[in-house]
Amino acid sequence: MILSCIHTHTTFCDGAADVETMCAAAFAKGFESLGFSSHAPIAAKTGIRTFWHLPDERLAEYIDTVLAARRRWAGRLKVFLGLEVDYIRGLCGPGDRDILDLPLDYIIGAVHYVPSPGGELFIVDAPEEEFVPGFRDYFDNDGGALVRAYWEAYGELIRAGGCDVLAHLDLVKKNNARFGFFSPEDPRYRRQLAETADLIAEVRSRSGAGTVPETGAESRRPGSGLPVVEVNTGGIIRGRTPDPYPSPAMLGLLKERNVPLTINADAHAPDHLGGAYGTAAADMRKAGYTAMLVFEGREAGKALWREEPLDP
């Protein structure tokens, strides 16, 4: 299997290692490419301040550092510049002009914040000490309400567009293994999965999925809303989920709709790189996939992807 990861965090946000250390680790593991995707700044735009987002004042430094790494590793490791951008209703998203104007190779769209029935923002993958009181106070311990809020927000992200990759599609399950606030077998939850898969396929179709003649890879112009779904192994790596995001059930729904996938570790440390890729590939094969997409870069405003087989 081709080894690549374009969902990677460093000490610029909530990662444990710097850019150079992550590059060296990827090279040592035989990676073809590594893309950096710091959590995009949100403080100036939203007033929300966290320890895990890139500070606004360090954005230029982050860009310069990754581009310098690209030059240092040229010929040995392909290095790409990206951001993981939060969609927060009415506040920010991947399609915002300030994001699209940056010299990025790709944009990952994500939902971490969901609005509660009372309008408060709740971090769906918050640590236990934050999740428990927030779930109680904002959702009255109603798992159905939280799940509905999550999938509604994710649908809004998909419709809004502006991203090349959809991150950890069913992140709402991260705390479910510990707290059991919903059943993945609930017909209502399965319906939400199907509706989301339908929406992704619809947006891709409406955008006119095309190919780059030179490579046969899919392409997207910025903001056209033609996303690829990542199979994210971060939950497995950190011991929070038994399977990747998205779940095997969702992978099956995506395959039925011919939605392409790429594999990422959501790496926050060197040892995360490549973690549980075998599990991700096995789940993809069970769903009927025989190939994955590998990011190739950006050319003339288009994200370039190369199809590679899922080796047994």
Strand, helix or coil for residue 36? strand
First to last CA, the chain: 8
Amino acid 216: pLDDT: 40
What CA–CA distances, in Å, run from 259 to 14, 85, 98, 213, 252?
30, 21, 28, 20, 10
| Confidence (pLDDT) at 208 | 56
Q: Is the pLDDT of residue 160 over 60?
A: yes
Look at residue 311 in the predicted model and tell me its pLDDT: 82
Identify the helix (H) or strand (E) that includes residue 11.
Answer: none
Q: At what angle do helices 187-207 and 143-160 cross, to 10 degrees?
A: 0
Position with higher pLDDT, 91 vs 225: 91
Q: For the segment 213-258, what is each residue's pLDDT rounded down to a tens digit? A: 333 434 334 434 479 999 999 999 999 999 999 999 999 999 999 9
Q: Is the pLDDT of residue 212 over 90?
A: no
Q: What's the pLDDT at 20?
A: 98
Positive or negative, the Cα torsion across 156, 157, 158, 162? positive
Question: What domains sit in the chain, N to C, each tagged with a CATH number?
Answer: 4-309 (3.20.20.140)
- Rounded to the nearest angstrom, the gap between the alpha carbon of residue 280 and the centroid of all alpha carbons in its chain is 14
CA distance readout (Å), 269 to 15, 17, 94, 139, 225: 6, 6, 25, 33, 30
pLDDT at 211: 36
Mean pLDDT lowest among 40-54, 69-83, 88-102, 198-212: 198-212
